[in-house]
Amino acid sequence: MRVLLAGGGNAEQSKKIDEFYMSSLSTRHIAYFPQAAVPKMFDLEYAEKWLKDRPAFTNVQVNSFLDLTKTSFDELQSYETLFISGGNTFDLLDKFNQSGFLPILRRLASMDKIIYGASAGAIVLGSDILSAGIGPEADSNDTDMTNFEGANLLHGYNVLTHYKEDYEELVKTFAKDQHAAIIAIPEEGGVFFDGSLLTNISSTPVYVVSQQGALLICPDEVFRITNCT
């Protein structure tokens, strides 16, 4: 398992996470999934430029997979990595659900593909996406979904991106009400999960919030993820 979760900051804020990501790749071929923002927020050309213009992403070859109904496991298994970008988390999961993409994503993750999730793309990798509804910048839900289960690549943990310190009480309340544990990542933050250990690969603290309280994980520190389901 090789999963990167980024807090959703701009290219400069995410530079250290991006550099870690690129240093982990043996190729420059990226399978790109921009469904959280395309076409509702941006067109595909803009989304691809957004990715290619990130300072760490020099000489990358980006292949976008927009129509997931025509995207197969066999096609994707030739890629070393998948990049799932941000936007609206509910729209993203709705598209994953309608196309049956989540089982493919889980299977690819189990094959040690590098999965990079940014913002909504990170949230969808958690147990469910209800954490996208936390805070004043919460995602709106304009879908008809009743199943909010995510890819669940993190042993039952949820993910919250764009985290700010003044969200702490909101997140603690969510953890208590939902009996959940949340990896809360500021915009400058990012973590790497290898299937058991969560490493802070950014220059800012990230947090693990549960019913027991909030645990701060400083840069370069490691936290062992145990199954919380």
Would you say the C-alpha torsion 105, 192, 122, 25 has a positive or negative sign?
A: negative
Burial of 136 (0-12, 13-18, 19+ CB in 10 A): exposed
Does residue 139 sit within a domain? no
Mean of pLDDT values over 57-71: 96
Tell me which residue range forms the domain holding 107: 2-134+145-224
117 domain residue, yes or no: yes
Q: Does residue 229 sit within a domain?
A: no
**71 in a structural domain:** yes
Contacts of 149 (CB under 8 A, 6+ apart): 102, 127, 128
* Assigned domain for 140 exists: no
CATH of the domain at 196: 3.40.50.880
Tens digit of each residue's pLDDT (9 = 90 or more) over 70-125 = 999 999 999 999 999 999 999 999 999 999 999 999 999 999 999 999 999 999 99
- The verdict on residue 48 lying in a domain is yes
Total domain count, the chain: 1
Query: Residue 89 carries which side chain, given as an amino acid letter?
Result: T
Residue 30 lies in a domain: yes
Question: Would you give the DSSP letter of residue 128?
Answer: B
- What does the alpha-carbon distance between residue 4 and residue 25 come to, in Å, rounded to a whole number? 12
The string of DSSP letters for 69-100 reads: GG--HHHHTT-SEEEE--S-HHHHHHHHHHHT
**Percentage of the chain surpassing pLDDT 70?**
99
Please write the tens of the pLDDT for every residue from 137-186. 899 999 999 999 999 999 999 999 999 999 999 999 999 999 999 999 99
